Structure 1
Amino acid sequence: MLPTFFISHGHPGLAAQEDGFTAFLLRLSGSLPKPQAIVLFSAGWESSVQKISTAIEPVTLHGGAAEADPFLALHQYPAKGELTLSLHIKQLLENEGIGCETDDERGVDFCAWGPLSILYPDANIPLVMLSVNPRLTAEEQYRIGAALGPLREHEVLIVGSGGTVYNLAKLDENNPVPPEWAVAFEEWVAEQLETWNVDALFRYDERAPYVEAAVPLPGHFAPLLLAMGAGEASRRAKLLHHSFQLGALSLSCWMFGGMKLEKK
């Protein structure tokens, strides 16, 4: 059974970077069995109701990536959709009383193809995109993820793509040293994840230090809770990578559910 992952999508130019984080992502994909499909919650796709992509040949959306690197304006990630899986996801959510809708027009945004272009550059694994509703409580986000946990038994890789410390107004390209507030917030989050303290995480907006600075956009923190919920059956969390970019932009990867990764 595959674990689930939270992966920071970082700066829009991630797919063109060569650094410790991208090197880690290259190693990560090589350490995992090839999934039958990928289900990805994207912070780049916000909606007031849970959306599930049903496009068979979703277009590549570029957004801010083209501004970060002109080369990325031409980048394509031609992964195919998987309608049967999309409809199965809808059924799983409805079985738990979670309202949802399908969307046959949504493309693949850079929050998805940024990390996936490094993890699986051949784009030869079926991909189902899921939106994020930033208005939901942390507990509701976790519950959505938990509803999809059974997909892991069918070698489906569930990924949440977002950011834990993600405040674009506080980035500093001239200072690579992360500020103390960003480090303190990340350390608090790590402690709660490693002890599976959902009571604290469900109230992170009240309990976490410096939360106003770290999480001005709850929709970027939500994929962490969604991915964690999908690993609920095992209740194991492991930090595989952590670094900062542009001062306060957190780049992290958490694995939920656990498995022994192969060294390659």
Structure 2
Amino acid sequence: MQPSLFLAHGAPTLVTEELKYTRLLAMLAAKLPRPYAIVLWSAHWESRTQLISAAPQYETIHDFFGFPESLYEIEYPAKGNVALALQIRQMLTAEGISSEMDDHRGLDHGAWSLLNLMYPDGDIPVVAMSVNPRLTPEEQYRIGRALATLRRENVLLIGSGGTVHNLSKLNWSSAGVARWALEYDEWLAEQLETWNTEALFDYELRGPYAREAVPTPEHFVPLLLAMGAADSGKKARLLHREYQLGTLSLSAWMFG
């Protein structure tokens, strides 16, 4: 059975960088059973209704500005899986969760940057999923839980975002980590490892420096989705954590 994963996608340049984290992603893909398909929630695809990609072939979306030209030349030629997308919609409907299909959107950098590092050949079908930041944490968790049985069908579920993601507080002169970012991540790790959903669902009030770490929820939501997909086992393991520019966390969590 596949685990579910939460993976930080960092800055768009991550896909071109040699870091401990990028090496970890490549090694992780090599160690996991080769998945039949990948279902990925990206923080960079926001919608009011849960959207499920039914694109048979993805275009690569370069949804960023002002970066080196080489980034805009990267293409990730992943195919979709319409049958799996329809199955996902049926699974969500069975749990009373509304959703819609989308057959035209490509893969944003929250999706293709990670997939390029893990499966550079782009030969595993992908079903991209949107996130709805307006839902409560409990509702996010429930969406992930609704798709949990896909893991038994050799489908790898990935939430792509960032536990600490505040672009206004990046420290361009520091290679270390800000104390407040580390304190929040350490609090978060304790809640995840003990599967304390009560505290996690109230992270905005209970988490130290939560307003600084999570000023907007869209990058945190994929963590709750990936966690929900492992509700039956309730096991969390931190695979890696480092930081870019003092506050941008690069963390990898495995659930299940």
If the TM-score is normalised by the length of the shorter chain, which range does it land in? over 0.9
Look up the match of 1:253: 252
Look up the match of 1:16: 16
How many angstroms does 1:69 deviate by?
2.5
How many angstroms does 1:57 deviate by?
0.8
CA–CA distance in structure 2, aligned partners of residues 28 and 153 of structure 1 = 19
Pairwise mapping of residues 194-209 of structure 1 onto structure 2 (< 5 A)? 194-209=193-208
CA–CA distance in structure 1, aligned partners of residues 63 and 140 of structure 2 = 25
Pairwise mapping of residues 138-177 of structure 1 onto structure 2 (< 5 A)? 138-177=137-176
**SS at 2:130 equivalent:** strand
How many angstroms does 1:133 deviate by?
0.2
CA–CA distance in structure 2, aligned partners of residues 184 and 21 of structure 1 = 20
The list of structure 1 runs, each at least 4 consecutive aligned residues, that deviate by more than 4 angstroms after superposition, is none
Look up the match of 2:177: 178
CA–CA distance in structure 2, aligned partners of residues 254 and 15 of structure 1 = 19
- Provide structure 2 residue ranges, at least 5 long, that are not aligned to the other structure: none
CA–CA distance in structure 1, aligned partners of residues 205 and 84 of structure 2 = 36
How many angstroms does 1:227 deviate by?
0.2
Look up the match of 1:114: 113
**RMSD over aligned Cα, in angstroms?**
0.7
2:28 aligned with 1:28: yes
**SS at 1:40 equivalent:** strand
Q: Which one-letter code corresponds to 1:110 in the other structure?
A: H
Look up the match of 1:240: 239
Look up the match of 2:66: 67
How many angstroms does 1:63 deviate by?
1.0
Look up the match of 1:53: 53
Contact in 2 for aligned 1:50/1:132 (Cα 8 Å): yes
CA–CA distance in structure 2, aligned partners of residues 83 and 245 of structure 1 = 36
How many angstroms does 1:106 deviate by?
1.2
**SS at 1:13 equivalent:** helix
Contact in 2 for aligned 1:52/1:86 (Cα 8 Å): yes
Contact in 2 for aligned 1:16/1:69 (Cα 8 Å): no
**SS at 1:67 equivalent:** coil
Q: What TM-score do you get using the length of structure 2 for normalisation?
A: 0.99
Contact in 2 for aligned 1:42/1:130 (Cα 8 Å): yes
Q: What TM-score do you get using the length of structure 1 for normalisation?
A: 0.96
Q: Which one-letter code corresponds to 1:239 in the other structure?
A: L
Q: Which one-letter code corresponds to 1:18 in the other structure?
A: E
How many angstroms does 1:109 deviate by?
0.4
CA–CA distance in structure 2, aligned partners of residues 68 and 41 of structure 1 = 24
**SS at 2:246 equivalent:** coil
CA–CA distance in structure 1, aligned partners of residues 54 and 66 of structure 2 = 28
Identity of aligned residues (%): 53
- Provide structure 1 residue ranges, at least 5 long, that are not aligned to the other structure: 258-264
Q: Which one-letter code corresponds to 1:90 in the other structure?
A: R
CA–CA distance in structure 1, aligned partners of residues 231 and 62 of structure 2 = 33
